[in-house]
Amino acid sequence: MSKTIELAQHLEKLHINNMYKSDFYWTWDKTDEELDAIFTVADALRDLRERNKSTRIFDSGLGISIFRDNSTRTRFSFASACNLLGLTVQDLDEKKSQIAHGETVRETANMVSFMADVIGIRDDMFIGEGHKYQKTFMDAVKEGYRDGILEQQPTLVNLQCDVDHPTQCMADMLHIIHQFGGVENLKGKKIAMTWAYSPSYGKPLSVPQGVIGLMTRFGMDVVLAHPEGYDVMPEVEEIAKKNAAATGGSYKKVATMEEAFQDADIVYPKSWAPFAAMEERTKLYQAGDQAGIDALEQKLLAQNAQHKDWTCSEEMMKKTRNGSALYLHCLPADITGLSCPEGEVDNSVFDRYLVPLYKEASYKPYVIAAMIMMSKVKDPVSALMALDTADKRKFF
């Protein structure tokens, strides 16, 4: 029996009917079994790919990508996921569209979706705006389908918003599951999600928020650490607390990186901007106040510079369990002595974890493909079993 068949049999036991024709906004919208289904299908698709089996569940159709912020890994992961399933990808370049001439979000949504099956959107830079844009876009698509403009209703994959980065955090989680030999081995494991110094400003809060919102669902001891003033959204912290209480794990905040790293099994040192500052930047952006935005940037860079000791150094790693915690990062990292004079992580630490970091990133295409498949295929169990017997991919 192949691994794919074993995974399909596990999938059959899960209650996942609500995933069909659903959107993926953030992980806490999904049940535990639905998250399990994403991990299961991602592993099955990876197994099929490794055995060179065709995984084309579409013979035509578009995956529309909309990146309102820069991206390497997520952009190529979305394209890879769509192609893996048989979809062609078309990127919406807003500078080349009619958006600059006054085209509304509702109009754009319908115009690009005539033959689209999935929409992937990244909009992460402005607090209160990213999720709002995704929701406005998809509400317009649903109306277009309801009114007979669209023959089918595309589904959304959140490729990062101002609140959550579900494809990243799900890929992180699947990497952790494999590194520790299964979900059953994660209970009681300590993960430190810590702020780290960066010589740049304005990094989104969605990764740390996504991590505490997801990892607390697995009975893990999740610790958030950041300097004073670098708080994340309080509503996401409330989600983390409720998750921890429900799973027997824990969630707490500490004031130093040293305390967070102490006896940690997993560390995730990454820079992000203060929530209050990101709210202020959104208001300045809405007002068109570029001078105000520039002044805020200088203020925040100076604020960051007061915390250069918040870095993942060799000494800091020695505080982790047996000095060998799993190091995670969504990439690109600010690497001291390589990409910048002083940054989030020492070059020697980063270099030592290079292979597992790349493996961590490699789960993202399969996670995205699983999100698409679970929303577009009514009977994913039968689909996986059929793919297991399908022809190999052709090489000419």
- Answer whether 266's CB lies under 8 Å from 176's CB: yes
Say whether pLDDT at 159 is over 80: yes
Q: Which of 107, 78, 160, 168 is nearest to 361 (CA)?
A: 168
- Classify residue 315 by burial, with Cβ atoms within 10 Å: 0-12, 13-18, 19+: exposed
Confidence of residue 138 (pLDDT cuts 50, 70, 90): very high
Q: Which two tokens stand for residue 72?
A: 């390497």
- Which helix (H) or strand (E) segment holds residue 194: the answer is strand 190-194
Architecture of the domain delimited by 3-164+364-388: 3-Layer(aba) Sandwich (3.40)
The structure tokens 């596990």 sit at 10
| Assessment of whether the complete model's pTM goes beyond 0.75 | yes
pLDDT band for position 201 (cuts 50, 70, 90): confident
Positions of CATH 3.40.50.1370 in the chain: 3-164+364-388, 168-360
- 67-84 pLDDT, tens digit per residue, is 998 899 999 999 999 999
Model pLDDT, residue 102: 72
> Which pLDDT belongs to residue 125?
86
Section 43-51 average pLDDT: 97
Under CATH, which number does the domain 168-360 receive? 3.40.50.1370
The DSSP secondary structure of 349-365, one letter per residue, reads HHHHTHHHHHHHHHTHH
pLDDT at 256 (0 to 100): 98
Q: Which residue has the higher pLDDT, 85 or 286?
A: 85
Name the band, by pLDDT with cuts 50, 70 and 90, for residue 393: confident
> Band of the pLDDT at 382, cuts 50, 70, 90?
very high
Does the pLDDT value for residue 104 go beyond 80?
A: yes
Q: Tell me the pLDDT band of 63, cut-offs 50, 70 and 90.
A: very high
Inter-axis angle of helices 364-376 and 32-50, nearest 10: 110
> In this structure, which amino acid lies at residue 74?
T
pLDDT, residue 396, reads 54
Query: Quick one: pLDDT at residue 75?
Result: 97
**Amino acid 20: pLDDT:** 97
Q: What is the pLDDT of residue 100?
A: 63
